[in-house]
Amino acid sequence: MTRPKIAFIGAGSVVFTQGLLADLFAFAELKNAHIALHDIDTERLRTAEAAAHHIADHLGASAPITAHLDRREALNGADFVINIVQVGMGEATRTDFEIPARYGLRQTIGDTLGIGGIFRALRTFPHLRALGADIAELCPDAWLLNYTNPMAMNIQYLAEATGLTKVVGLCHSVYWTIRDLSDLLKVPYQEVTYRAAGVNHQAWILELRHGETDLYARLDDLIAADEQLRRRVRVDMYRRLGHYPTETSEHSSEYVPWYLHHDSEIERLRLPVGAYLGIVEENVAAYEKTRDALAAGESLTVEGTMEYAPQIIHSIVTGTPRTVYGNVPNHGLIDNLPRTGVVEVPCLVDASGVQPTRIGSLPPQLAALNRTYLSMNDLVVRAAVENEPRHIRHAAMTDPATAATLPVQRIWQLCDDMVRAHADRLQPALRATLGS
């Protein structure tokens, strides 16, 4: 693979695209890679192309960079496909928050489970089906590296609806959790050994060591001595479940029934309800700042992000062995989770591709929470694969935070309102309103 072709689908997510390109071009062997950028937004695509050229020049890369409004042109002959599409962008995200809020349903991020996660998945699935068909035709040997949320639902859907097998979902939550814990424990990250597994945004640190030292014991001492640490959801979950979760407190609070339903818990654990809407605005501002700087001929800050996709590409191209965390269909990797569910596990990467590692069984209390998560995911995928709109409601009924907040009649009414709001982005069979 002398000049790999890397297609970015949704390259108009310019800030994220910039970070990935900085990581790619930091590898000498990838400085000549063909970068094919695709987006349906002309202005964002133009901005992404300008940013890519700027980063290539800054890092001394000789990469040919092409921009395509036609997705098929970008995919043709690709060796790697990076999917970073967000269907509906900020407008759809605001809908995901505003309509549930009228029902008294609280969300913080809304991109993984809950009403927000359900409808983000349902409006993404038609894109994934079309993308999968194009890959099968135009670049059947390519690896699809997915960053689009809801991660686990999207990977399960790709597996069941497209038949693609060279697919892995990538998220930085395990990496940054270990970095944060290393800083908290004042241990060099490079010297920490760890093992994590579970599901995306609700995986668990199963082992955490510095040499022969069990760092969990040191973490217990810090938590016991610091009241402010105890005012974090993920710390609260760790104290009760025995293993530290791999996502932020804002994310973690949405996947269980214990926190967002209670005003006292929101105050105790300082939970920012609706926080993601602020992040959406920050992302828009960051994009506009980049767009305007490039138009004015100003220099951009070029920083790597340590994301997994560039590491995977480098390992496959060069044969360099690495371990990353990936989201893949279970198929026996974790014994006490459903076989067809998507799990997050360590994966070995080299010239032969991405190879998930078997974990065995999770501690039962962790598997119990993960099974509920995967049950909800499965119902959303079943809704799309089987064209069964009732399963949308069944998924919402299964979701822990939604079920803790609303009676079942209101859940069905909420789903009807969400279907009406997102109808144009849903596959036709799922646009039905069913009443309460």
Catalytic residue among 53, 58, 172, 210: 172
Query: Which of 225, 219, 223 has its CA nearest to residue 207?
Result: 219
- For residue 179, the tally of other CB atoms under 10 A from its CB is 14
**How far apart are the C-alpha atoms of 233 and 269, rounded to whole Å?**
6
Q: Tokens in use for 280? A: 């959406």
H and E: helices and strands count for the chain: 17, 12
**How far apart are the C-alpha atoms of 132 and 138, rounded to whole Å?**
10
Asked if 172 is an active-site residue, the reply is yes
Backbone angles phi, psi at 194, to 5 degrees: -155, 160
**How far apart are the C-alpha atoms of 368 and 212, rounded to whole Å?**
30
Q: What is the DSSP string of 76-96?
A: TT-SEEEE---TTHHHHHHHH
Q: What is the DSSP string of 266-304?
A: HHHTT--TTHHHHHHHHHHHHHHHHHHHHHTT-------
| The pairing of beta strand 192-199 with beta strand 34-38 | unpaired
Which residues, in sequence order, are CB contacts of 44 under 8 Å at separation 6+?
11, 12, 14, 287
Q: Tokens in use for 320? A: 């360099």
Q: List the catalytic residues.
A: 172
